[in-house]
Amino acid sequence: MHPHITGKTRIYGLIGDPLKSARSPMLLNRLFAEAQTDAVCIPLEVGTQALAEFVKGARALRNLDGLLVTMPHKQTMLEVVDILHPSARQVGAINVVRCDKDGRWEGAVFDGLGCVLGMQRQGVSVLGKSVLLVGAGGSGRAIAFAVAAAGAYSLTISDLDPHRAADLAQSAGKEGSCNVHAGPPDPEGHDIVINATPLGMNPDDPMPVEAERLTPAMVVVDIITRSEPTALLLAAQARGCKTLDGEPMHLGQALLALDFLGFKNIERRYSTGL
């Protein structure tokens, strides 16, 4: 049922390809409904080749107020928007576009800040902590900057490609006073372990970290969003660790995206729960 869509309803699109398992429309529409906002988020499936044409058409719409951006468009959208939010410039990707009334599009990325906010909302702060981040791809890159900026004491970045880990460590190390370096996927000596690789999506995947070296005081975060816990989270739970799946990050991203899109009421409402 979507009986509340009228001619006045403002439109938010989620662009990506594929979108079959996308969950943002459901989450945003729930937040819109809870805030009694006359807006709707719909999936807009656009392939790589068609993005430029799509963008021209989208700019012709008067009631399109924003876009959520997912794969494969997160980098390409950097060239499309008129203004880059500092987060997008830093991370080199976009996951939300605000379509301003003057016709200008501003792009931002809240993957990393959403991960940190989601952890905070679950009582896990990175402030002063030693963090192991596995995966220096798109999500890992965003999380590295956000963790460093949120006051972590140290951040170890691990990736199958050691150059990619070292490059990201160097860039993220410029943020604040966090001690950032590349290293192996060994939890020992860390307070928080974050998996930002796709390992765990499929049953046959190897573990992203050396799970046998997890200890009960560690918090283990796996940003993969699926209904069943990943093998990493099951192993961490068996060893007594507090665990977080991808849900808190997903909600954190959505809250920050909505705040950026101008829904200050939604953000305030949820931030009281911090």
Nearer to its own copies, 17 or 186 (CB): 17
In the complex, the smallest distance separating the C-beta of residue 92 from its own copies, rounded to whole angstroms, is: 24
Structure-block tokens of residue 87: 């987060």
In the complex, the smallest distance separating the C-beta of residue 101 from its own copies, rounded to whole angstroms, is: 13
Asked if residue 131 lies in contact with residue 147, where contact means CB atoms within 8 angstroms, the answer is yes
Structure-block tokens of residue 207: 């573990």
Contacting residues toward its own copies, per CB under 8 A: 1-9, 11, 14, 17-23, 25-26, 29-30, 32-33, 40-47, 50-51, 53-64
Nearer to its own copies, 25 or 137 (CB): 25
74 is catalytic: yes
63 vs 235: CA distance, rounded Å:
47
In the complex, the smallest distance separating the C-beta of residue 225 from its own copies, rounded to whole angstroms, is: 12
Nearer to its own copies, 29 or 76 (CB): 29
Nearer to its own copies, 53 or 188 (CB): 53
Q: Which of 8, 20, 74, 242 is catalytic?
A: 74
Q: What is the CA radius of gyration of the chain?
A: 19
Closest CA to 138 of 91, 77, 73: 91
Asked if residue 15 lies in contact with residue 95, where contact means CB atoms within 8 angstroms, the answer is no
Our measurement of the distance from residue 246's CA atom to the centroid of its chain's CA atoms, rounded to an integer in Å, reads: 9
In the complex, the smallest distance separating the C-beta of residue 9 from its own copies, rounded to whole angstroms, is: 6
Asked if residue 180 lies in contact with residue 126, where contact means CB atoms within 8 angstroms, the answer is no
Q: Which positions are catalytic?
A: 74
